[in-house]
Structure 1
Amino acid sequence: FHTDPTLCAHLGIYKTKEAIIRRFFWTNMQEDITKFIKECIKCNQRKKDPHNMTVEPGKQFSIPNKPFERVHMDIMGPLPRSCRNNAYVLTMQDAFSKFAITIPIPAISTEIVIDKFLRHLVYIFGPPSRLITDRGSNFMSHKFTDLCKNKGIQHEPTLPHQKNSNGQAERLHRTLEECLTHYVNKDLTDWDLFLPKVT
């Protein structure tokens, strides 16, 4: 269960327990899950030691009141170019529900970003009230800022040289990277196939 890419994809104790509890129950379940994950070789090899990580303070945001009130959007990559010609992931995460949308993309042009943003988020869930991005040229372009104005989206680029001010997107990227490393082939050319399973 813990090692299955369609179910838990080597997630931590809490998320694995949440997934298992929906389907099974047994005595000492919590202890068994904790022990199994702590002894998982792949998890121990791949996951970073939290005691050795430096944490930079991120920007503090107010807690949203409803889904898609605030969305964090970013680009992960470049990654090794996949067999399907993708090298980046456009990520969008709702701050209220933590629901994430991940789209493999071949390049990070403004046109591609706008197309995926509209098709995968705006046309399905409606425009978010607020959109947090970094100051990448694709997000700061006239086309993108005009789109936000036309859709009534308050676009809030992070401060320059403060990568962690979009901490929610950065955490999502770390989770995706950790999960993907358990399943990709040795050439790393199939990561985009596993992306939907680990999102």
Structure 2
Amino acid sequence: MEFNIQRSKTPGHLKLFYPPTDVFQMLHIDFWGPIRPLAQGNRYVLVLMDNLSKCVIGKAMPNNTAKAAVGFIVNKFIMIHGASERLIMNKANILTIR
């Protein structure tokens, strides 16, 4: 019995979500960077991607703060396309309330 190895993975902590039925119903968000500073001083890129259409919206930003991200999401996405039902992000603590 001491050489009996586990042959299957233990159940993970992933949460299931159903595929979207409409464009911009489910968005993925992430910061990309830091990169070399551009002429305007931007070092990060905020990327929004729609899960259904795979449409990508990116914006160069000088920092990766929650205030900058929320300003972009509200002014450049929600005011134009409407609110999304689900916003998925990695476990980065950039967009969490402190």
Tell me which interval the TM-score lies in, with the shorter structure as reference length. 0.7 to 0.9
1:1-199 alignment to 2 at 5 Å? 61-141=17-97
Answer yes or no: is the 8 Å Cα contact 1:101–1:120 preserved in 2. no
Per-residue CA distance 1:46-67 (angstroms, 9 max, x = gap): xxxxxxxxxxxx9864321001
> Could you state the TM-score of these two structures normalised by the residue count of structure 1?
0.40
Cα distance in structure 1, aligned partners of 2:23 and 2:53? 6
Percent sequence identity over aligned pairs = 26
Cα distance in structure 2, aligned partners of 1:100 and 1:119? 16
Unpaired stretches in structure 2, ≥5 consecutive residues = 1-13
Structure 2 residue matching 1:96: 3-state secondary structure: coil
Cα distance in structure 1, aligned partners of 2:15 and 2:56? 20
> Could you state the TM-score of these two structures normalised by the residue count of structure 2?
0.78
Cα distance in structure 2, aligned partners of 1:137 and 1:108? 11
Per-residue CA distance 1:67-116 (angstroms, 9 max, x = gap): 11100000000111111100000000111111110000000111111101
- Number of residue pairs the alignment of both structures matches: 85
Structure 1 runs, 4 residues or longer, greater than 6 Å off: none
Cα distance in structure 2, aligned partners of 1:61 and 1:91? 21
Cα distance in structure 1, aligned partners of 2:82 and 2:94? 21
The structure showing larger relative contact order (alpha-carbon pairs under 8 Å, at least 6 residues apart) is 2
Q: Which has the higher helix share?
A: 1
Q: CA RMSD in A?
A: 1.8
